[in-house]
Amino acid sequence: MRKITYLILLLFLLGILAAIPGASGFWFKKMYFDTIAAINAGHQFNIEVLDYQEGWLHSSAKIKITPILPNPPPPIPIQLEVTIDQSITHGPLVYNDINKNWQFAAATIQNDIHIPFVSQNSMQIYSLATFYDDWFTQIYIPAINKIIPGKGKITWQGLQGEVDFHVTDQTIDRTKMNMTIGAFNADTDPQIPVSFHMNIQPISYQTQASRQFDNIWNGETQSSLPGLSIQSAGKTIIDLNKLTMGCTFGAARDIFWNANFQLSLDKLSAPDQPITVISPLTITSSINNFSAQGINEILKALPNKPMAYQVFPRIIIPTSVMNNTITLSTSLGDLLLQATFSWPANTPLPASMDEITQKANINMNVKIAIPLVNLLIDNYAKKIAARSADKINAMVTERATSPVPTPTLNQAPQQRIPTLEELQQHAVNNIKQQINNWIQQGYITQENDSYIVSIIRDAGVLQINGKIPPPDFTPPPH
């Protein structure tokens, strides 16, 4: 009798153990569809489940991922759909291919990805889902070494990365990403007369964030590019060293939204360009006490850019402040720009972008080397000359094709049409004359080889270098 009891208990336990993977698969299916709903709710991708076959120990799925384009769409049509075949292994005991061990978890997913124009099995994605709605994903693209006969050679060290996130009530509320894009090299075939070489050193990107509320996240991102170089015919075209970017962002008490951004560049060399060397470049920007609700509304409207533009003024509250600093050293001299923007006290909040540009308080200080200014003037004059040339050519065409003689067209004395270079020099002379006038009037201070300008607008009153400009004060001609 006792043996029969033990046998019944053993069969009962075996039945439970046999049922667990099936129950786990049934439970995971709901978790799977909840996670897809959470990703789709982000409005960056649309994931469509083409097929889901639920099994006892294993299940399979087929999904299609399509990026959601902004409205209006980009000028160049983009149609990129990725189809993924997924092999799902049910828990509760699975092998973690990320940490190389066995652990209790809901399921693992091995992805077979089909990307247009890319060879099959070129990307590997492995995911593990825990019983606590945590997802851990590992992404791997193997190295590529390809020789193109008669053209050259391309080598790429591939990509490795991890993406982790947590889902609560069909919403992603925590995410972390760590990506490394391997080094890339391209070299022309030795038989090609003009050699070409490109090298991009490994790019790293890290981000982590947690949802504060709705579309507002608290987090930080970091990215770096150690170096990039392009050479042609043995000459350096571009040589970049150590570019880094970082950003922190988040909301305080669900009211104030703050962000800090920093970009730094150690050195950029471009021997054939007007500015041959930039070393270093630093850009910092801080946003303090903007409306978290206003930022949230913009993020909701982002898929429709015109709508996002309309709701943009709602980010401003009485305590909003933005600080920006640019420090630039070049082969033509230095630039230092410091600017603070805030909203005037006792002033109704803006209802449009025009009100922001017309009423916001400004405190800006600029010190820029004169050779840099001259370069800007030359580039600006080229645009003015091109517009003037287009107008002159249109008038000449109208004169030649007009069926009705008019004193202004057919009877006017013939005049020599100025060349593009003459139009450009004329524009340069006009702009420099205007700058000299401003120096004499005190709106610009010249200190050695630099121009210094201070611009303050407080409560609607504009001052340039401490002077209130007259109503007819105008910028350089354009």
Domain that holds residue 439: 360-393+419-478
Which of the listed residues 323, 351, 379 is the one where a domain comes to its end?
351
Note whether 369 and 451 are same-domain residues: yes
Q: Is residue 404 part of a domain?
A: no
Q: Is residue 211 part of a domain?
A: no
Structural domain count, the chain:
2
- Whether residue 134 is predicted with pLDDT greater than 50 in this model: the reply is yes
Q: Which pLDDT value is given to residue 407?
A: 52
- Whether residue 253 is predicted with pLDDT greater than 90 in this model: the reply is no
Rounded (10°) CA dihedral 379, 385, 388, 389: -130
Note whether 224 and 297 are same-domain residues: yes
Q: Is residue 252 part of a domain?
A: yes
Note whether 383 and 292 are same-domain residues: no
227, 199 Cβ separation under 8 angstroms = yes
Structure tokens belonging to residue 255 = 């009211």
Q: Is residue 197 part of a domain?
A: no
- Whether residue 471 is predicted with pLDDT greater than 70 in this model: the reply is yes
Give the phi and the psi of residue 157 in degrees, each rounded to 5: -80, 10
Instruction: Choose among 27, 35, 62: nearest CA to 48.
Output: 62
Note whether 270 and 335 are same-domain residues: yes
For the stretch 405-443, pLDDT in tens is 555 544 555 667 788 888 888 889 999 999 999 999 999
98, 128 Cβ separation under 8 angstroms = yes
Note whether 284 and 371 are same-domain residues: no
Note whether 280 and 386 are same-domain residues: no
CA dist list (Å): 418 to 37, 316, 386, 392, 424: 64, 49, 12, 9, 10
DSSP H or E stretch at residue 287: strand 277-291
Which of the listed residues 320, 351, 382 is the one where a domain comes to its end?
351
Note whether 342 and 378 are same-domain residues: no
Instruction: Choose among 296, 297, 294, 338: nearest CA to 319.
Output: 294
Q: Which pLDDT value is given to residue 72?
A: 54
Higher pLDDT, 253 or 427: 427
Q: Is residue 17 part of a domain?
A: no
Note whether 372 and 469 are same-domain residues: yes
Which residues, 6 or more positions from 55, have their beta carbon under 8 angstroms from its beta carbon?
A: 25
Which residues, 6 or more positions from 170, have their beta carbon under 8 angstroms from its beta carbon?
A: 34, 37, 38, 41
For the stretch 153-204, pLDDT in tens is 999 999 999 999 999 888 899 999 999 999 999 998 877 888 889 999 999 9
399, 411 Cβ separation under 8 angstroms = no
Q: Is residue 266 part of a domain?
A: yes
Higher pLDDT, 308 or 28: 28
Q: Is residue 314 part of a domain?
A: yes
